[in-house]
Amino acid sequence: MPSKPGWRGGLLKALYRTSIASFTLALSCLSAIAEPARVMSLNLCTDQLAMALAAPGQLISISFLSRDPMLSPLSEKATAYPINHGRAEEVFLERPNLVVTGTYSLQNTTPLLKRLGFRVEEFSFVQTLDTIPGEIRRMGALLGREERAEALARSFETELADIESRRCEARPTALAYEQAGVALGRGTLADSVLAAAGFRNLASEAGIEGMAPFPLELIVEQKPDIIITRAGEEDAPSLGARVPHHPALRAFSGTRIGPFVPRGAWSCGGPFVIQAVKALAALREEIAPCGEAR
Amino acid sequence: MRPLALNALLGLLALALFLASLAVGPAELGPSESVRGLLAGGSEAAAVIMREIRLPRAILGLAIGFTLGISGAVLQGFLRNPLAEPGIIGVSAMAAFGAVAAFYTGLAGSTLYALPAGALIGALLAVLLLLALAARSGSTLTLILAGVALSSLSGALTSLVLNLSPNPFASYEIIFWLLGSLKDRSIEHVWLALPLMAGGWLLIALSARAIDALSLGEEAAASLGIHMARTRLLIVVGVALGVGAATAVAGTIGFVGLVVPHLIRPLTNRLPSRLLLPAGLGGAALLLAADVAARVVLPAGELNVGVLTALIGAPFFLWLVVRSRREVF
C-alpha cells in the first residue's frame, strides 16, 4: 500500500492537538483543585518565571544563582527570597508542595526527589522566543496564577510583535560571541532574539547548530557589523573572556564590539528576554536606519 | 654529522614548518594572498589574519619549541639524567599553577602581566626544589618521582583554583592549562613572553662550557675551574625564565624537551654543549609541526597541541624507561 504522509501527518497533528488541549485542561483542573502553597525553584530560569508569577509567600525558595548579578537580571529582587543550592536534602527539609526545575540541570536530583514523592515539574530550556509565552502560561497554570500569566504572556507577545513589525530590508550582520570564541547559532535563544531585532546571525548562516567555536579568522573575513560579548566579567578574569578583545578584531574598522544586551537578559527564556530584543532593535535602528534602506 | 651541517639542516626544517604554520588556518587564503597580506598590500582581512592571528602564533610556536628543546637538553646534561625534561620533572606544571593562581584570583586585576609573573615564580620554585632533591640523592629515579608528585600536586591545585573562580567559565580552561594550546594567541603574548624566553636562552648558553666539564663528574669539573654555584644559578634562572614564560602564554606543553634531545644526540659528538642549539631548533620544528597538525586534524574545534605532543612523547618516554631500565633502577 502506498504511504500517505500527508494523511498520516494530519492525523498526528490532530492527535497532538487534542493531547495538548486535554493536558492543559487537566492542568487547569488540577490547579483549581489544589493551588500549591509552598513552591521551591531549583533553577535560575524557573526562578525568573516563578518570581514574576507567584503570589506573595507562595515561592519559598529560589536557586542561589539568581543572586549572582553576572547571571541573573533579577539579582536584586532575588535577595528577598531564601536561597537553595538545588540539593535534595534542602528540598526534603522544606517540604514544598511543588518543585520547579530545568530538565538540563541537576539530572540526579530530580529522579531522587520524584522517588521521595515530591511533585517535580521540569522546564526545558532549549527554547526560542516563540516558546516563551507558552512557558509563562505553563508556570502560571502550575502556580494557580493563570490570570497574571496570561497578562504577562499577552504583553510579551504584543511587545515582540511590535518590534518585529518594525524590521525592514536593512539587516546588518551580528555574531553573539560567548567565552573562549564560542558563537551561538541556530536553535538558540540568542539566534531568535537577533532575528526578531532584525539582524542576520553569521553563526547560523555558517551552519552552526547550538553553540560551537567560531574561529577568529572567519570573523575577520566576514566582518560582522556587531559582535555581542558577554556582559559583566570584569570582576572574575578568565582567558576565554579575552578572546573577543583579540587585537585582530580591533584592527579592522566598522565593527562594533560590546555587551549591548543587559546583563543576563538572554541567559534564560523568560519575560526578561524582551529587554534584550529591545536593546538590539534600538542598536539595529542606529546602525542601519530603515528609512535609508528604502 | 658536522655541527654546522646539523644546525643548518634543523634550522631549515624549522623555517619550513614556520612557513607551513603561517599557511594553515580556517580562513582559506591562497599563497599569494597570504604573502601580500603578511608583507604589504592585499585586502584588509588578509592583512589582519596574517599579521594579527597567524604570525604571532607561528612566532610563539617557534620560540616555545626552542625553549622546551634547549631546556630539556641542558637539564639532561646538567643532572646527568636521561629522563629530565621540564614537563616530566614538574617545572611546567608548577609554572602553570603559578600563572593560574596569579591571574584567576584577580589579585592583579585582569592584566595579562599577572600570567608571566606567576608562572616565573612557580617555575623557579619547582627548579629550586628539584635541584635541592637532586643534590641530596644522585638517583635518576628520585628526581623523576619527585617530578611526578610535583606535577600531580600542581595539576590538582590548578584545577582547584579554576573551579573556585567566581567566573563559571574558568573551569573550562583547566584543559588549556594541563594540555597547552597556541589557539588565538596575539602579538601581545609575543611581547609578553619572547623577551623572557630569549633571556633564558642566553643564560643557558652561558652555562655550556660548565655542563661539558660536568659530564666528567663534579670533582673533575671543579678541578677544571668550573664554579658549581654559578653554573647552578645560570641553569635554574635560565630554565625558569624560559619555561615560565612559555607556559604563561601557551599552557603546559609536555615531552618536547624529552624527545628532541634523544633524537638528536646520536647525530652530535655527545658533548652536552653541542646539543643545545640543535635541540632548540629541533624543539621548534617539533612544536610547529604539532601545532600545524592540531589545526589540520580537527579544523572546526581545533585540538590542544599538548595532546599531540603527549601522544608522541609519552610512548617515547615509556620506551626510554624500558630501554634504560637497568641504568635507571
What ipTM was predicted for this assembly? 0.83
Which residue in B has a C-alpha nearest to residue A230's C-alpha?
B169
Which residue in A has a C-alpha nearest to residue B185's C-alpha?
A246
Q: Is the pLDDT of residue A78 over 80?
A: yes
Q: Which of B25, B106, B184 sits opposite A237 (nearest CB)?
A: B106
Q: Buried (b) or exposed (e) across B215-254, using 16+ Cβ within 10 A?
A: eeeeeebeeeebeeeebbebbbbbbbbbbbbbbbbbbbbb
Q: How many CB pairs under 8 A join A and B?
A: 94
- Whether residue A254 lies within 8 A of chain B, CB to CB, comes out as no
The whole-number pLDDT of residue A8 equals 46
- The domain segmentation of chain B, as residue ranges, is 3-328
Cα distance between residue B231 and residue B221, in whole Å: 11
Across the interface, whether the CB atoms of A236 and B170 are under 8 A apart is answered: yes
Across the interface, whether the CB atoms of B27 and A221 are under 8 A apart is answered: yes
Which residues in chain B have their CB less than 8 angstroms from residue A223's CB? 45
Which has the closest alpha carbon to A31: A133, A138, A148? A138
Least confident range from A124-128, B36-40, B143-147, B256-260: namely: A124-128
Q: Are strands A211-213 and A182-184 parallel, antiparallel or unpaired?
A: antiparallel
pLDDT tens, position by position, B21-54: 999 988 888 888 888 888 877 788 888 999 999 9
Which residue in A has a C-alpha nearest to residue B102's C-alpha?
A237
pLDDT-above-70 percentage for chain A = 84
Query: Regarding the domain with residue range B3-328, which homologous superfamily does it belong to in the CATH classification?
Result: ABC transporter involved in vitamin B12 uptake, BtuC (1.10.3470.10)
Cα distance between residue B294 and residue B253, in whole Å: 13
Residues A69 and A75 sit within 8 Å (Cβ to Cβ): yes
Across the interface, whether the CB atoms of B300 and A179 are under 8 A apart is answered: no
The whole-number pLDDT of residue B323 equals 83
Across the interface, whether the CB atoms of B301 and A238 are under 8 A apart is answered: no
Give me the mean pLDDT over the B253-270 stretch.
92
B184 CA: distance to closest CA in chain A (Å)? 7
Identify residue A53 by its one-letter amino acid code.
L
Instruction: Tell which of A179, A202, A217 to mutate to test the B interface (max B CBs under 10 Å).
Output: A217
Across the interface, whether the CB atoms of A238 and B176 are under 8 A apart is answered: no
Question: What average pLDDT is seen over chain A?
Answer: 83
Q: Which of A71, A181, A223 sits opposite B184 (nearest CB)?
A: A181
Across the interface, whether the CB atoms of A238 and B27 are under 8 A apart is answered: no
The whole-number pLDDT of residue B260 equals 95
Q: Which of A228-232, B26-30, B109-113 has the highest mean pLDDT?
A: B26-30
Residues B275 and B74 sit within 8 Å (Cβ to Cβ): no
Across the interface, whether the CB atoms of A217 and B188 are under 8 A apart is answered: no
Q: In DSSP terms, which residues pair with B293 in a beta bridge? A: none
pTM of the entire predicted model: 0.85
Q: Which of A213, A218, A243 sits opposite B301 (nearest CB)?
A: A213
Residues B220 and B213 sit within 8 Å (Cβ to Cβ): yes
Which has the closest alpha carbon to A163: A282, A286, A288? A282
Cα distance between residue B286 and residue B271, in whole Å: 22
- Whether residue A75 lies within 8 A of chain B, CB to CB, comes out as no
Across the interface, whether the CB atoms of A217 and B104 are under 8 A apart is answered: no
Q: Which of B45, B104, B187 sits opposite A220 (nearest CB)?
A: B45
Task: Categorize the per-residue pLDDT at B12 as very low, low, confident or very high, splitting at 50, 70 and 90.
Answer: very high
Question: What average pLDDT is seen over chain B?
Answer: 90
Task: Categorize the per-residue pLDDT at A252 as very low, low, confident or very high, splitting at 50, 70 and 90.
Answer: confident
Give me the mean pLDDT over the B123-134 stretch.
90
Which residue in B has a C-alpha nearest to residue A181's C-alpha?
B184
Q: Which of B166, B169, B176 sits opposite A179 (nearest CB)?
A: B169
Instruction: Tell which of A239, A242, A267 to mutate to test the B interface (max B CBs under 10 Å).
Output: A239
pLDDT tens, position by position, A25-76: 444 444 444 678 899 999 888 999 999 999 999 999 999 989 887 778 888 8
A26 CA: distance to closest CA in chain B (Å)? 40
Higher pLDDT, B249 or A293: B249
Higher pLDDT, B291 or A241: B291
The whole-number pLDDT of residue B326 equals 57
Give me the mean pLDDT over the B117-135 stretch.
90
Q: Which of B45, B112, B172 sits opposite A240 (nearest CB)?
A: B172
According to DSSP, residue B11 is labeled H
Across the interface, whether the CB atoms of B48 and A220 are under 8 A apart is answered: yes
* Structural domains of chain A sorted by starting position, each given as residue range(s) with its CATH number in brackets: 34-158 (3.40.50.1980), 171-293 (3.40.50.1980)
- Whether residue A181 lies within 8 A of chain B, CB to CB, comes out as yes
Across the interface, whether the CB atoms of A236 and B106 are under 8 A apart is answered: yes
Task: Categorize the per-residue pLDDT at A9 as very low, low, confident or very high, splitting at 50, 70 and 90.
Answer: very low
The whole-number pLDDT of residue A232 equals 61
Residues B97 and B122 sit within 8 Å (Cβ to Cβ): yes
- Whether residue A24 lies within 8 A of chain B, CB to CB, comes out as no
A238 CA: distance to closest CA in chain B (Å)? 6
Give me the mean pLDDT over the B60-66 stretch.
97
Q: Which of A6-10, A245-249, B223-227, B276-280 has the highest mean pLDDT?
A: B276-280
Q: Which of A180, A221, A251 sits opposite B169 (nearest CB)?
A: A180
Across the interface, whether the CB atoms of A217 and B25 are under 8 A apart is answered: yes
Cα distance between residue A232 and residue A264, in whole Å: 9
